Structure 1
Amino acid sequence: MKKLIITLVILLGICVGLGFGSHELTKSSGDNGNKVLNLYNWGDYIDPALLTKFQKETGYHVNVETFDSNEAMYTKIKQGGTNYDLTVPSDYMVQKMKADHLLIPLDKHRLTGMNHYGASFMNKSFDPGNRYSIPYFWGTLGIIYNDQMIKPGTLTHWNQLWQSKYRDDIMLIDSARDVMGFALISQGHSVNTTSTPELLAARDKLNRLSPNVKAVVADEIKMYMAEGEAPIAVDWSGEASEMMTQNAHLHYVVPTEGSNMWFDNLVIPKTAKHFKAIYAFLNFMNRPENAAQNAKYIGYSTPNTDAYHLLPKAVRDDKQFYPPQNVIDKSEVYRNLSAQKVQEYNDLYLEFKMHH
């Protein structure tokens, strides 16, 4: 027995030395029994109880591996050597992965429940006809404010952020497309503009915002706002939802002139192996009761209209996370820009941060 254990330890050491992680070690059992699904997802982005329910219903075990950015996910899949069956890119990344031949088209004949999705969440510019993607969650970019310091109802436009009374009051999420984006919207331009004069004008306007900017931060923005460190922040609706559960004085608003509207989506990467499990899972998640359960757990907005109707009335009526149609109509989805334009956005944003 001891000899057998030693042999297994040596074999495991060889596997690890060759770069096989736990995910890859399940591959052979998964391919033989075909009873696994390898999901590559954002951290804490699915209700674990749903995975248990799915396994009980179907017998498929879901292995979950996580990433923290679209770019990290893209790089790992492009490099190969993985066997992910499903992943969850945002809008512009679906477009990029499609262009780089990293996705497998959906077999619509094997899908059920697609009729549950609202028309305004389908057939978007990043994937016309939803050939490759099913919407998972959606949200917006907006303004978070603390009602102990800011009178409710007073912040409804992007341009108000530039008012001198907000000196040293604003925290910004550290994101080039988003910060450049709201500056562009405030000047009546598209968040997807490729016009250098418009981008330069946005940079100049951001420089004029600098006196009002307390800090440009990443994930810690949630903690700072929850602890009342600043009266105002610009961040995503999903992050706002997390902050608001920790501090009842926080509110989220999408400016009336529109914003960025983002989508996270389920797609099949070219590494996929377990197609029966993939379609069983997609059809399971399309069911309104499951999508509603997931939305309650995550706190983000569901694109599944029939699931939306199963949510508590207080959630359905919350215009912070389910804004009226006229706001949705004015909001734009980020497009995958050329590498040269992405660099231009990043460079101008960096100039603003250095100016700040």
Structure 2
Amino acid sequence: MPDRLSRRAFGGLAVALALGGCARRWPKGANGEEQRLNFYNWDTYTGETTLADFQAATGVEVNMSHYANNDELFARLRAGNPGYDVIVPSNEFVTRLQISGMLSPLDHARIPNRANLAPEFVNVAYDPGRRWSMPYTWLALGIGYRKSRVDGVPDSWKWVLDSDRYSGRIGLLAEGDDLIRLGARYLGHSVNAVTPAVMEEVTQLLIRQKRHVKLFHHDEGQDLLAAGEIDLVVEYNGDIAQVIAEDDDLAFVVPREGTLFNSDCLCVPAGAPRPDNAHRFINFLLDAKVGAEITRTIRYPTPNAAALALMPEEYRANPAIFPSGPAMARSEYGRFQSIAHIRAVEEAITRVMAA
């Protein structure tokens, strides 16, 4: 396993470095494109040999750079694509990028490995027919905790959002939209029914709880938990699964009220300079053996059924990676609502942080 860093934890590199080698003369392949590809991705979110294996198979060298969150990705592309060929936005941002004219439609004929996808990922609400994206991973937010420091299983969002019981030992996500939606779910609302009244209710809840929260983290919660800096943390299942593999005093639970699902997706941004290489790369990542090698490294749930079949039982039966039970049935994918909603979330979180 690589150094333990969340897929969201590492900041973006400078574009000049990210798209390094721009002055270099690159040979062209049989498709007429330069034998390179610029991949804009979360950190530590490929297998250990994925990029080298693609180059060995195709002759195309992959230059990968990183961003810390979807907002950074969106901001980078808003002024025009600086040269990226493949990006990995989360489901809501697939919608937002698409309606903003910032994605190119996919040519399914050039992605035959899409046949490896599990049926539930073939046609999704945020991208009907998969016209703009192919799924890379899926994620569920929950509570990671240290069993020896917590009395019982924290099976409700109340433990971290509405209680002083573990004051000063709680870590919450800094990503405002996720936090607001989890608060709405705790209060009995759909994560996609955050009206102004619900948002105000959640904002007041978070303001009251803030004095009991040690920190709002940028998705490095698994490391803070492993280091003993906090005892309960809102985090993604794959991140907590990484640290559970090294410390059996740690555990993960999806609270009984249900949670927020996410899915990170492979897309070709508008203006990609090497669209054929981009399709070849996406198809490569959806290969069964390649997908399994990625999954063994990052330990996130895979939507690739053919890759899943190659994984050991230790992975397929891991309750942190694949949580189950009634709480999962109450969980939802978030939907992009509107720019006005995003601004309202930003204002709400600013109030929480300033309180």
The match for 2:176 is 176
Residues 156, 19 of structure 1: CA spacing in aligned structure 2 closer, same or farther, 3 A cutoff? closer
Length, aligned pairs only: 337
* Correspondences of 1:114-133 after superposition (within 5 Å): 114-133=114-133
Distance 1:348 1:60 in 2: 45
Measured at CA, do residues 207 and 282 of structure 1 come closer, stay the same or move farther in structure 2, by a change above 3 Å? same
**Is structure 2 residue 184 aligned with structure 1 residue 187?**
no
CA gap 1:301/1:71 in 2 versus in 1, 3 angstroms: same
* Counterpart AA for 2:212: N
The 3-state SS of whatever aligns with 2:112 is coil
Q: What's the CA shift for 1:192?
A: 2.5
Q: Following superposition of structure 1 onto structure 2, how do residues 204-353 of structure 1 map, counting pairs within 5 Å?
A: 204-324=204-324, 326-353=326-353
TM-score, L = length of structure 2: 0.86
Is the Cα contact below 8 Å between 1:103 and 1:268 reproduced in 2?
yes
Supply the distance in 2 between the matched residues of 1:220 and 1:73 (Cα, whole angstroms): 19
Which secondary structure state, in structure 2, belongs to the residue aligned with residue 113 of structure 1?
helix
User: Is 1:155 the equivalent of 2:154?
Assistant: yes
Shift of 1:229: 1.9
CA distance in 2: counterparts of 1:111 and 1:92, whole angstroms: 22
Paired letter, 1:118: A
Structure 2: distance between partners of 1:234 and 1:174: 10
Q: How far does the alpha carbon of each residue in 1:247-300 deviate from its partner, in whole angstroms, 9 at most, with x for none?
A: 332111111321110111000111223233222222221111110110111121
Q: Is the 8 A contact 1:77 1:271 kept in 2?
A: no
Tell me the CA shift for residue 130 of structure 1. 0.8
User: Offset of 1:220 from its aligned partner?
Assistant: 4.9
**2:81 matches 1:88:** no
Structure 1 residue 77 displacement after superposition: 2.1
Q: Is the counterpart of residue 38 in structure 1 residue 32 in structure 2?
A: no
What's the TM-score, normalizing by structure 1? 0.86
Q: Percent identity?
A: 26
Change (3 A) 1:339 1:20: closer
2:23 corresponds in structure 1 to: 25
Identify if the C-alpha distance between structure 1 residues 281 and 194 changes in structure 2 by more than 3 Å, giving closer, same or farther: same
Following the alignment from structure 1 to structure 2, what is the Cα–Cα distance between the partners of residues 325 and 114?
28
Cα drift, residue 20 of structure 1: 11
Judged with a 3 Å threshold, the aligned counterparts in structure 2 of structure 1 residues 328 and 107 are, in CA distance, closer, same or farther, namely farther
Cα offset for 1:190?
Answer: 1.9
- Contact 1:174–1:216 (8 Å) recurs in 2: yes
- Classify the secondary structure of the residue corresponding to 1:214: strand
Report the secondary structure of 1:65's partner residue: strand
Q: Quick one: distance in 2 between partners of 1:220 and 1:55?
A: 31
Secondary structure at the counterpart of residue 68 of structure 1 = coil
SS at match of 2:165: helix
Give the secondary structure class of the aligned counterpart of 1:22: coil
Q: Is the 8 A contact 1:193 1:199 kept in 2?
A: no
Give 3-state SS (helix, strand or coil) of 1:64's partner. Answer: strand
> Max radius of gyration: which structure?
1
Higher helix share: 1
Q: 1:222 to 1:206 in 2, by over 3 A?
A: same
**1:25-104 superposed matches below 5 A:** 25-26=23-24, 29=27, 34-80=34-80, 82-104=82-104
Unaligned runs of 5+ in 1: 1-17
| CA offsets 1:9-62 (integer angstroms, 9 cap, x no match) | xxxxxxxxx999624335764586632222121222112412222222222222
Contact 1:24 1:82 in 2 (8 A): no
Distance 1:111 1:192 in 2: 32
Distance change (3 Å), C-alpha of 1:20 and 1:149:
closer
CA contact (8 A) 2:238 2:320 kept: no
**Distance in structure 2 (CA, Å) of the matches to 1:74 and 1:25:** 26
CA distance in 2, matches of 1:302, 1:21: 28
Alpha-carbon distance between aligned partners in 2 of 1:180 and 1:20, rounded to the nearest angstrom:
32
SS across alignment from 1:271:
coil
Deviation at 1:141, TM superposition (A): 0.9
CA spacing shift, 1:194–1:224, aligned 2, 3 Å: closer
Change (3 A) 1:82 1:313: same
Cα deviation 1:77-109 (Å, max 9, x = unaligned):
232262221111111111111001111111112
Distance 1:71 1:200 in 2: 23
Q: Secondary structure at the match of 1:228?
A: coil
Q: Residues 89 and 265 of structure 1 are in contact (CA less than 8 Å); yes or no, is this contact kept in structure 2?
A: yes
The offset of 1:187, in angstroms, is 0.9
Structure 2 partner of 1:7: none
SS of equivalent residue, structure 1 residue 302 = coil
Partner of 2:267, secondary structure, is strand
Distance in structure 1 (CA, Å) of the matches to 2:325 and 2:253 = 14
Determine the C-alpha separation between the residues in 2 that align with 1:156 and 1:20.
41
